[in-house]
A and B are shown apart, each in its own frame.
Chain A
Amino acid sequence: MTSRMRMTICCLWVAICLMLLCGFPAFGQAQAASSTTTQAAPPPAKPAPAMDAPLDVKAAQPPSTDDLTAKGDPGGTATGTVSDVVAADSKKGLTLADVVNQAGQNRIAINFVWTLVTGFLVMFMQAGFAIVETGLCRAKNANHTMMMNFMVYGFGLFAFWVCGFAIQMGGGGPYSTLGGAYPLTSEHVVTLLGKPWGLFGTHGFFLSGASYDVGVMVLFLFQMVFMDTALTIVTGSCAERWKYVAFAVSSVFMGAITYPLFGNWAWGGGWLSQLGNNFALGHGYCDFAGSGVVHAVGGVTALALSMIIGPRIGKYNRNGTPNAMPGHDLLVVLTGCFILAFGWFGFNPGSTLAASGNGALRIGSIAVNTMLAGCTGSFGAILYMWIRYGKPDASMTGNGLLAGLVAITAPSGFVSTVGSAIIGLIAGVLVCVSVEYVERVLKVDDPVGAISVHGTNGLWGVISVGLFADGTSNYGGSWNGVSGSVRGLFYGDASQLVAQLIGVGTLIGVIFTISYVAGWIMDVIIGQRVSAADELEGLDIPEMGALCYPEFALQMQRGVPSGGVAAD
């Protein structure tokens, strides 16, 4: 080995030693870094901040009050900051607990405001119903029809406050979107055929005791306006011949017993809602906003009472053929339909009882579904009438709009826009066919078409959930205590359709029977129908003591025929 080679080898050794001395730590660090990424070793634990420790508010850079005083906040970027979070203990300053509590309260506040405002919209629907029904009746009964719609609100509200709400919702809680409403957790359950059957709630009578609770109050208001919607359906079908006192007693009974019973079975934790848990039928009976609970209950009660009261004098000839008895004001009928369509944006989207959390952001989809079904419902009706009778009938087009809205009420939270359009279109045609069938085959007189709009299409809405629910909704991960999303037959769950059909059977089997028997008893005791003389005169004077349109009477007295009274 030459000296030159020895020198070269020595230099290499020195270089390797230097590289090892300087480079190994770096190599080691790289190795450590790579092992961190591959093995995900936990970083050193950082102590969680104490909930009651004061927070460094300055780090959140609150706006200067001097700046705000001098310049205001035209862009809205400095309003609503950490400065607006209230400290529980002002001496201690803002803590993490304050911030967390504020976040929770904000969520519930959003849900409260949403539920209340949508409830106010539903309340305004009473005005829509009132003028639709009055416009479809003859002028000589306008005061009577309007007064039934006006006072059904008061009678129903009172009955619902006394016991209806407790029967319906007293056992359905807790309601997480409204902060719990914990007092409403007592359901009367009986065990039959080896299964528990929830029948009615037992907490919340008079909204007293523990029910004096902010969440319970919000729920009461929302449920009350729904109940009143069901009651006002009956006033339409029985109009122009119903004794006012019989109407009053009937409305109190319905608000106290009939409506709350089905409401409990469907929404209050009762046996229909538990068909999924107890009998493996999908998610149990699903009725998002009340095609069944509100509209079909009103519709089948309307059918029962209309059968008992009988048709108006002059509606049918001796051979059973019907006569048209047109309403006196199409203008208010169609205006009322628009008011109802507006109110429906409270009815369906409001039924989430939330705008924050638990999948509540689906409210946008629910509102669009509502709008679409109303639209296609009016299409269906106008096309049917145009093709069959050669003219686009105005009152049936209005009924088509309402039929679409009624039908989408139950499925609105579970279906796609295509599904809602189909549901509405079918409803629009169905209402026309049903009106003809009720009038010509059953010979049941329904001046406003309420049995068809709310009864027939309420039942169609219930069935349509079992067909079109697409499995994309997620309201907190479960519905009626069954995890996962609601799916109908077309999306792979046939058992959901069976649950819906059992709901339909209960509506026409049990709710109809209760309404019929109660109406029958009332007919025997106080009489349901006014006298023939009163009916021919018009119910405004005999029943209410005042005419809705006094000028018409003046014209009659002077021998000048007028559109309203003279035509009758």
Chain B
Amino acid sequence: MKIVGVLVVLVGWLLPVVGLTITQSTSVRFVLALLGIAVTLFGIMGVLNKAHLKNAIWKA
């Protein structure tokens, strides 16, 4: 799950960066940037952090 989380985080970053080259529209770039940030945050908080919490010290 940790590797999946890292991949999701990177995909979130790539979204707006690749979007830079496929469109000139500021609005589309803006939406892609927000979408990328949302995907990255999901990767960090929803996937990676959950993977760490599975074996959290306080659950033992």
Q: Does residue A520 face the partner (Cβ distance < 8 Å to B)? A: yes
Residues from chain A with Cβ under 8 Å of B37 in the complex:
501, 504-505, 508
Question: B44 contacts A512, CB within 8 Å?
Answer: yes
- Which one of A194, A444, A520 contacts B2 once the chains associate, using CB atoms below 8 Å? A520
A508 to B45, CA, bound (A): 11
In chain A, residues 439-495, which have Cβ atoms closer than 8 Å to a Cβ of chain B?
442-444, 494-495
Q: Mark B30-60, 1 if CB is under 8 A from A, else 0.
A: 1001101100110011001100110011110
Q: Does residue A303 face the partner (Cβ distance < 8 Å to B)? A: yes
A516 to B20, CA, bound (A): 26
Q: Does residue A513 face the partner (Cβ distance < 8 Å to B)? A: yes
Question: A508 contacts B20, CB within 8 Å?
Answer: no
Question: A494 contacts B9, CB within 8 Å?
Answer: no
Question: A502 contacts B12, CB within 8 Å?
Answer: no
- The chain B residue with its CB closest to the CB of A278 is B20
Residues from chain B with Cβ under 8 Å of A195 in the complex:
21
Question: B58 contacts A513, CB within 8 Å?
Answer: no
- Knowing A279-B20, A494-B30, A498-B29 touch, does A505 contact B56 (C-beta < 8 A)? no
- Knowing A442-B45, A494-B26 touch, does A509 contact B18 (C-beta < 8 A)? no
A502 to B59, CA, bound (A): 37
- Knowing A193-B21, A501-B34 touch, does A506 contact B13 (C-beta < 8 A)? yes
Residues from chain B with Cβ under 8 Å of A307 in the complex:
48-49, 52
Question: B58 contacts A318, CB within 8 Å?
Answer: yes
Q: Does residue B17 face the partner (Cβ distance < 8 Å to A)? A: yes
Residues from chain B with Cβ under 8 Å of A316 in the complex:
56, 58
Question: B13 contacts A509, CB within 8 Å?
Answer: yes
Question: A311 contacts B6, CB within 8 Å?
Answer: no
- Knowing A315-B58, A316-B56 touch, does A513 contact B29 (C-beta < 8 A)? no
Q: Does residue A430 face the partner (Cβ distance < 8 Å to B)? A: no
Chain A CB within 10 A, most for which of B2, B12, B44: B44
- The chain A residue with its CB closest to the CB of B51 is A307
Question: A505 contacts B57, CB within 8 Å?
Answer: no
Residues from chain B with Cβ under 8 Å of A506 in the complex:
13, 17
A518 to B26, CA, bound (A): 35
A509 to B9, CA, bound (A): 5
Question: A318 contacts B36, CB within 8 Å?
Answer: no
- Knowing A307-B48, A498-B30, A498-B33 touch, does A193 contact B58 (C-beta < 8 A)? no
Residues from chain B with Cβ under 8 Å of A311 in the complex:
56-58
Residues from chain B with Cβ under 8 Å of A313 in the complex:
57
Additional A-B contacts beyond A498-B26, A506-B17 (18; CB < 8 A)? A193-B18, A310-B52, A310-B57, A311-B58, A317-B58, A442-B45, A442-B49, A497-B30, A498-B29, A501-B37, A502-B17, A502-B20, A502-B33, A505-B17, A505-B33, A505-B37, A509-B14, A513-B6
| Top 9 A-B residue pairs of the complex, sorted by shortest distance between their CB atoms | A509-B13, A501-B33, A316-B58, A193-B21, A509-B40, A505-B36, A498-B29, A495-B26, A508-B40
Q: List 20 A-B contacts (CB under 8 A).
A: A193-B18, A275-B20, A281-B20, A313-B57, A315-B58, A316-B56, A442-B45, A494-B30, A501-B16, A501-B30, A504-B33, A505-B12, A508-B41, A509-B9, A509-B10, A509-B14, A509-B40, A510-B10, A512-B40, A513-B10
B contact set with A: CB distance below 8 Å: 2, 6, 9-10, 12-18, 20-21, 24, 26-27, 29-30, 33-34, 36-37, 40-41, 44-45, 48-49, 52-53, 56-59
A contact set with B: CB distance below 8 Å: 193-195, 275, 279-281, 303, 307-308, 310-311, 313, 315-318, 320, 442-444, 494-495, 497-498, 501-502, 504-506, 508-510, 512-513, 516-517, 520
